[in-house]
Amino acid sequence: MRRVVPSPESERTLRVHRPSWYEEGVAKTNETVGRIQHLLAVSKSQEQDRFARAPLPYPREFDFEIDRFVEAVRVVVSGDFKQAKEMVEAIDHEPMVNWYDEIAQHVGAVRLAMFGGQPGKRRSGGKRNLGPTRIRRIAARDGFLCGYCDIRLVEPDVLRDIDTMLGGGVLHKRLTSRNNRSYHGIWLMTAITLDHVEPFAKHHNDSDDNLVASCWSCNFGKYHYELQELGLKPPRMKRGASSNWQGLRELVMTTQ
């Protein structure tokens, strides 16, 4: 599906005044709010199932760029580091960076307002474990697919290993300040994290049954809101037995 970019006219008409409860750090500008509102409206109209599953479904053309990345990993594993690096650098990843940095991570509060909700109270304290071993176990259980948007996922440790094989600084520019734009778009879109389906900030439920493999976009897009507050169906979990995607770990492990 072609990425839908709102026109300047539609952005002007969709700009809204932020409600008093709008949280700092989420959708900071009226222009951002307008763009997200437009994209949500388009998604709701044109892809109802995806709209009901993910805070904001990612543009489908990103799948093609992920395919290109998988081919580059196969090449680097074969030992042709130069060609693999050139293949990764040829990936059109800036739209991914812009999508995550400017849109996806700010979706939650806008979608909440779309469904007429207001954020509930958060609870302080509680302990959670989101270490790499648990991430790998939950991701394998869930088929290395985001439980919300279905994008293919890769463990951060595997992405780091691939970056090292590429010579370093390709997927993550470590010499720059750590921010979204120090990462390659492939990293921003495919890196695995774990999401608490019932928000940890409200329920403090850190059990495996309350965790789902998630991309960064859906994790930060959902934020600490309840599924029903955002009009979302429960995420898809425990798909490991039926998934053909193994997060590139099996490819990278052949070189170690």
Q: Could you list the pLDDT tens digit for every one of the 256 residues in the chain? A: 333 333 333 333 333 333 333 343 344 578 889 999 999 999 999 999 999 999 999 999 999 999 999 999 999 999 999 999 999 999 999 999 999 999 999 999 999 999 987 766 666 566 778 889 999 999 999 999 999 999 999 999 999 999 999 999 999 987 666 688 899 999 999 999 999 999 998 888 899 999 999 999 999 999 989 999 999 999 999 998 788 899 999 888 877 6
Q: DSSP letters of 197-247?
A: SS-HHHH---SGGGEEEEEHHHHHHHTT--TGGGT-PPPP---TTT----T
Specify the 3-state DSSP secondary structure of 183: strand
Specify the pLDDT at position 123: 65
Kindly state whether residue 2 falls inside one of the protein's structural domains: no
Kindly state whether residue 3 falls inside one of the protein's structural domains: no
Specify the pLDDT at position 7: 35
Specify the pLDDT at position 4: 37
Kindly state whether residue 96 falls inside one of the protein's structural domains: yes
State the pTM of this model.
0.85
Q: DSSP letters of 131-177?
A: -HHHHHHHHHHTTTB-TTT--B-B-HHHHHHHHHHTTSSSSB-TTS-
**What letter would DSSP give residue 3?**
P
Give the helix/strand (H/E) hosting 195.
strand 192-196
Kindly state whether residue 239 falls inside one of the protein's structural domains: yes
| Domain carrying residue 246 | 8-253
**Residues 104, 64: contact at Cβ < 8 Å?**
no
Kindly state whether residue 163 falls inside one of the protein's structural domains: yes
Name the domain count of the chain: 1
Kindly state whether residue 228 falls inside one of the protein's structural domains: yes
CA distance 223 to 107: 9
Kindly state whether residue 178 falls inside one of the protein's structural domains: yes
Specify the pLDDT at position 60: 96
